[in-house]
Chain A
Amino acid sequence: MDVIKVPVVEEILSANDQLAVANRELLDANKVFGVNIMSSPGSGKTSTIVATQERLKDSLRLGMVDGDIATTIDADRAAEAGMQAVQINTGGNCHLDAVMVSQGIRSLKLEDLDLMIIENVGNLICPSSFKLGTHISVLIASVPEGADKPYKYPPMYRGVDAVIINKIDVLPYFDFDMDYFVKGVEMLNPGVKSFPISNKTGEGLDAWADWLYEQVAAYQQSAAE
């Protein structure tokens, strides 16, 4: 009997990462720009997605993949706003992974889309560990959650391309130290884009939608070359 130590050095989530690459290829084959939106429950993912649709619907065709635990409420809200929307049942899972998203993407008519937004499961702990194959990922924080979230949940702030700070309309009622929050984000993810917004008043939403539009336009331009 021989006993040997075999070097492996493989990322534990490598199977997920490979499937994420396949998802990206499928999106690219259809020139669809993918966005992964993450946040804790109730931070305003669905509200922001619907508000984005309202601002971009005349220039882009938007789709939504909703990773909800059981209900279709969020996908219905997106569909009502005129988006192609599919809900994937996560079966109580705490995050979306590339397998679930692959099923979601396949049930969309990709040839009719420019932009696909994934609403991840509301959770501030693990969704960021699972690559989905989108071109960018966005984290939504909201004022009532408190300004210490980057310090308490650093992994979620790493690797995202933009941070949205939602519900700024309620800033007067909360001791939300914006400076502390922004500094925390900047230390974890230097140079990340940030967008203070309110889905209640509409403040900041144009800046966010314009930026997103630019990302999609640049993507489509490079895909056309």
Chain B
Amino acid sequence: MHELPVTESILTIALRYAEREHATSISDLYLVIGDLSSIVDESVQFYWDIISRDTIAEGATLHFERTPMQMVCFDCGKTYRPEPGTLSCPGCGSTIVQVAGGEDFRLEAITVEKDENTEKANEAAPSVDGVIEET
């Protein structure tokens, strides 16, 4: 429901890291998103196609790694995915349990392309804060 600001955050982070690498383009983004995050992949993709236009990330592929909701039982040690409408342990029925997965919400990595000339220029004049200096 709020995928637009989320997608904007993803773009901002990706561009920041790409700039740090003096990349000329971003080709892939690897996202890890837990099922507890209430984010719909298709909506992120939809906004991505719009907001990445005219940036070095235009046309980049979004890879979604979905992590399921997981719980762990303190009584029998079982790790499980709760069935709808339940949370308690399906193994022993215990309610002494804890959420153990599914809350991820991060950008794990990006794949970027670098121009060799840019790289040489950077070696010659190491830049501060990702600003490429003229040589």
Contact = CB atoms under 8 A, between A and B. Distances in A.
B17 interface: yes
A2 interface: yes
Nearest to B13: A10
Contacts of A55: none
B12 interface: yes
B109 A155 contact: no
A11 B106 CA distance: 4
A161 interface: no
Nearest to A124: B38
Nearest to B110: A6
B14 A8 contact: yes
B107 interface: yes
Contacts of B14: 8
Interface in A147-171: 148, 150-151, 154-155, 158
A11 B21 contact: no
A6 B107 contact: no
Interface of A: 1-16, 93-95, 97, 125-126, 129, 148, 150-151, 154-155, 158, 183-184, 186-188, 190
Given A5-B111, A6-B112, 12 more contacts: A2-B113, A2-B116, A3-B111, A5-B109, A8-B108, A8-B109, A12-B10, A15-B12, A129-B38, A151-B85, A151-B86, A158-B36
29 contacts: A1-B113, A3-B111, A3-B112, A3-B113, A4-B112, A4-B114, A5-B110, A6-B18, A8-B14, A8-B17, A9-B108, A12-B13, A12-B31, A12-B105, A13-B9, A14-B9, A14-B13, A15-B12, A94-B2, A129-B105, A150-B87, A151-B85, A154-B69, A158-B99, A183-B88, A183-B95, A184-B87, A186-B95, A190-B98
